[in-house]
Amino acid sequence: MKPLWLAVVLLTLPLTLQAQQSLEQAQQQSQALVDDAVAAQQRINELDQATRAALEAYRHAVTQADALTDYSERMQQLVASQADEIASLQQQIDSVADTQREMLPLIRRMIESLDAFIALDLPFLLDEREERVARLQALLVDPDVSVAELYRRVLEAYQIESEYGRTLEAWRGALKDGDQQRVVEFLRVGRLMLFFQSLDGQHQGYWDAAHGQWQALPSSYRRALDQGMAIARNEQTPQMLRLPMPQVSVEVAP
């Protein structure tokens, strides 16, 4: 029986070696599959991370796009609002320009009327008053002076002229009588009368508006003129003055 068992052992030995080799080969293949699976899983994990990163980047991009859209809409609204404001300002500018064009002829006529009025008025402070009109005429053609400023200056000149009609004023100045000129004392009573008196008090006179010339006054008016000049200079309290006044003619309709 021993030879038989030996034969069996000898016969099965190659089979055992072959099985061992097959097992090892199977194990190697199995390990290779495991390695491939691990590598595949790593790639899947990497792809998953990349996908999540891409998704996050996409979401961020969408958020930025929404923010930019909102910003763009707000900017468009702001631009539209500014455009409306610009249009409104332009209308106001056009209106002001139209007003200025309409005002200039009026201001020119006011200056011309003031000049004519001074020429027809009592001849007091003529140098000062005519110089004021000349300055207004110069401002009228000055491009650096606004219409508003020019109008203000014209109204100021009218106000000054208006004040002359409500004041009593005395001053020393030159009296032109024909070709002669002498220094005298003047007394202006509103716009009613204009008197003069020589420095020595020997000669008195008044402006005759009807004839456009100076007329002499009797010496009896010397005291009244002295008092009037003192009142005008605040050297004496106001009181009634006995001075000649222009005659007022009244026309009665038939």
Answer whether residue 25 shows pLDDT above 50: yes
Would you place residue 249 in the very low, low, confident or very high pLDDT band (cuts 50, 70, 90)? very low
Closest by Cα among 196, 131, 128, 198 to 164: 128
Q: Residue 214: helix, strand or coil by DSSP? A: strand
Tokens of 108: 């020119």
Domain regions of the chain by residue span: 30-67, 97-164, 167-242
For residues 91-115, give the mean pLDDT.
Answer: 80
Which residue type does 118 have? I
Tell me the average pLDDT across 2-9: 53
Among residues 109, 107, 98, 102, the alpha carbon closest in space to that of 152 is found at 107
Percent of the chain with pLDDT over 70: 73
CA 243 to chain centre: 54
pLDDT at 177: 73
User: pLDDT of 37-74, one tens digit each?
Assistant: 788 788 877 877 877 776 776 787 577 657 656 655 77
pLDDT digits (tens, 9 = 90+) for 76-97: 675 566 567 556 646 655 565 6
Q: What is the mean pLDDT of residues 232-252?
A: 76
3-state DSSP assignment of residue 251: coil
